């Protein structure tokens, strides 16, 4: 069982609110990822990090931001939530030095913006 | 055209049947990943391979680099195998490009 956690699991929030989705892993992995997945659709990479103080934008245009101050923690923040942000957000980590290696996924956060 | 394409999109089988899910990709890859997503949304990594074949229990994954094609096989399928199976290409830069997934339903 993967030691990667996400909170909250479910969130319903009004338009314009600032929200932070938490992701933590206890495996000491350097690489961490945020994916967005709409129902029945493929995953899209929105942010990733190769280590502390390293963050990059992914393939999907996103109005979110991330930070990586500690190895184990990779929070994602939406400054002003909109209905178009309604989706599932999945965090993942991997520890291989070269390439990605096996990815361990968190349980996801289902976000609904009213 | 997506860089990673899976077929079929949906697959229904009877318990005990041999199942094959296919994945074709159009990009250069360093590895090919197979993932399983259960109805609750959780995702588990099944295989990561860059050549040949790997086996884990009733699951077998193969890859043909020249043809840019991979297959996931399930032998003696069981209702608990019902899930979405996702193929993902690992490209340079340590990023994954995902297929749309194959919804597998195994009936008792």
Tens of pLDDT, residues A28-58: 999 999 999 998 888 999 999 999 999 999 8
* B18: helix, strand or coil: coil
Q: What is d(CA A90, CA B36) in angstroms, rounded to the nearest whole number?
A: 14
Q: What is d(CA B90, CA A31) in angstroms, rounded to the nearest whole number?
A: 14
- CB burial class (10 A; 0-12, 13-18, 19+) of residue A97? exposed
Q: How confident is the model at residue B17 (pLDDT cuts 50, 70, 90)?
A: very high
Check residue A100 and give its pLDDT.
72
Q: What is the mean pLDDT of chain A?
A: 91
Average pLDDT over every residue of B37-41:
84
Q: Minimal Cα–Cα distance from A40 to chain B, Å?
A: 8
List the one residue out of B66, B76, B98 whose CA is nearest residue B18.
B76
Please state which of the ranges A24-33, B8-17, B36-45 shows the lowest mean pLDDT: B36-45
Average pLDDT over every residue of B11-23:
97
Residue B79 has pLDDT above 80, yes or no: yes
Query: Which residues of chain B does A31 touch, with a Cβ-Cβ cutoff of 8 Å?
Result: 94
Nearest neighbour of A45 by CB, restricted to B35, B42, B96: B96
- Roughly how many angstroms between the first and final C-alpha of chain A, as a whole number? 34
Average pLDDT over every residue of A70-97:
92
Contact A42 B101 (CB under 8 A): yes
Contact B90 A58 (CB under 8 A): no
What phi and psi, each to the nearest 5 degrees, are found at residue B18? -90, 130
Check residue A113 and give its pLDDT.
96
Q: What is d(CA A63, CA B91) in angstroms, rounded to the nearest whole number?
A: 24
List the one residue out of B63, B19, B59, B70 whose CA is nearest residue B36.
B59
Q: Residues A72, A41, B4, A77: is their CA dihedral positive or negative?
A: negative
Pull the structure tokens for residue B10. Answer: 């949906």
Q: Minimal Cα–Cα distance from A87 to chain B, Å?
A: 12
Nearest neighbour of A48 by CB, restricted to B33, B42, B95: B95
Nearest neighbour of A42 by CB, restricted to B90, B95, B100: B100
Query: Which residues of chain B does A109 touch, with a Cβ-Cβ cutoff of 8 Å?
Result: none
Give the other-Cβ count within 10 Å of B78's Cβ.
Answer: 13
């Amino acid at each position: 069982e993967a030691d990667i956690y996400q909170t909250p699991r479910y969130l319903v929030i009004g338009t314009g609110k600032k929200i932070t989705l938490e992701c933590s892993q206890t495996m000491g992995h350097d690489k961490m990822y945020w994916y967005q997945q709409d129902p029945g659709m493929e995953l899209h990479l929105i942010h990733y990090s190769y280590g502390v103080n390293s963050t990059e934008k992914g393939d999907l245009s996103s109005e979110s931001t991330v930070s990586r101050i500690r190895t184990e923690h990779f929070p994602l923040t939406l400054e002003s939530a909109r209905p178009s942000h309604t989706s599932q957000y999945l965090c993942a980590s991997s520890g291989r030095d070269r390439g990605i290696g096996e990815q361990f996924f968190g349980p996801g956060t289902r976000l609904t913006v009213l | 055209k997506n860089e990673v394409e899976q077929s079929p999109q949906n697959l229904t089988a009877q318990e005990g049947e041999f199942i094959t899910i296919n994945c074709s990709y159009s990009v250069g890859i360093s590895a090919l990943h197979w993932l399983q997503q259960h109805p609750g949304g959780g995702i588990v990594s099944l295989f990561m391979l860059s050549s040949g074949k790997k086996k884990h229990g009733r699951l077998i994954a193969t890859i043909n680099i020249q043809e840019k094609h991979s297959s996931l096989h399930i032998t003696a399928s069981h209702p608990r195998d019902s899930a979405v199976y996702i193929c993902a290409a690992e490209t340079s830069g340590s990023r994954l490009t995902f297929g749309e997934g194959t919804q597998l339903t195994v009936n008792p």
